[in-house]
Every structure is written in C-alpha cells, then in structure tokens.
Amino acid sequence: MQIPVEYLVNCGFGWFIVVLAIAGYFLTLARMRERWTFWIVLAGGWAFFAVANTLLISGVPAGVPYLVAIWLSSYILVAASLALLFIKLTKVKQ
C-alpha cells in the first residue's frame, strides 16, 4: 500500500507544532511567570490533527466517522486557542 506524501507531511508538521506549542508554554511560564491556556489548547488541537493523520498513515480509511470527528475537534480547538490568545492579548495590553 502506497501512503500519500501529504499524510506524511501533515503528520510530521502536526507533531512538530505540538512540540513547539509545549515549548512555548514553558517559555512563557519561565519568562513571564504566567500560565497561558492558549498554549495548552493549541497543543491539544494540533495533537488531534496529528493523531488523525497518524491514523491515516496506519491504514484507516479517510471517510470513517470517528476520524472526521477528530479532525473537527482539532479545528475547533485551534479556533478556540486563537480566541484565547486574543482575549489574553487584550488583557495584557490594558
């Protein structure tokens, strides 16, 4: 079975962003002494995205309902993280 290159790139990119978001959380904690939930929600959203692509690489068909639910969850969490970032930045600016 030939795995499409797009799934491999998306999977690697997703896990890379998860690692960067976790590193961003700890850097923010170390430098600003604040815990931003934005980083945790962002890492969770990208983790769902990466898990979905990992499942595709492992051979799960693309139209399976739970795979679609994982993708939708990832999009919702990433959008929620952006909303949390905007809320936090408006509070920091005041």
The residues spanned by each domain of the chain are 5-93
Q: How far apart are CA 64 and CA 28, in angstroms?
A: 38
Q: pLDDT tens digit string along 19-47?
A: 999 999 999 999 999 899 999 999 999 99
What is the rounded CA–CA span in Å between residue 81 and residue 43? 9
Q: pLDDT value at position 3?
A: 84
pLDDT at 82: 96
Report if pTM > 0.85. Answer: yes
**Quick one: pLDDT at residue 4?**
85
Which residue in this structure is represented by tokens 């959380």? 25
Q: What is the mean pLDDT of residues 51-60?
A: 92
pLDDT above 70 covers what percent of the chain? 99
Q: Helices 37-58 and 5-32 sit at what angle, rounded to 10 degrees?
A: 160
Contact 41, 77 (CB under 8 A): yes
Would you say residue 9 has pLDDT above 80?
yes
Q: Does 52 score more than 90 pLDDT?
A: yes
Q: Which token pair is 13?
A: 């990119």
Mean pLDDT for the chain overall:
93
Which whole-number Å values give the CA distances from 33 to 4, 21, 25, 85, in the listed order? 43, 17, 10, 16
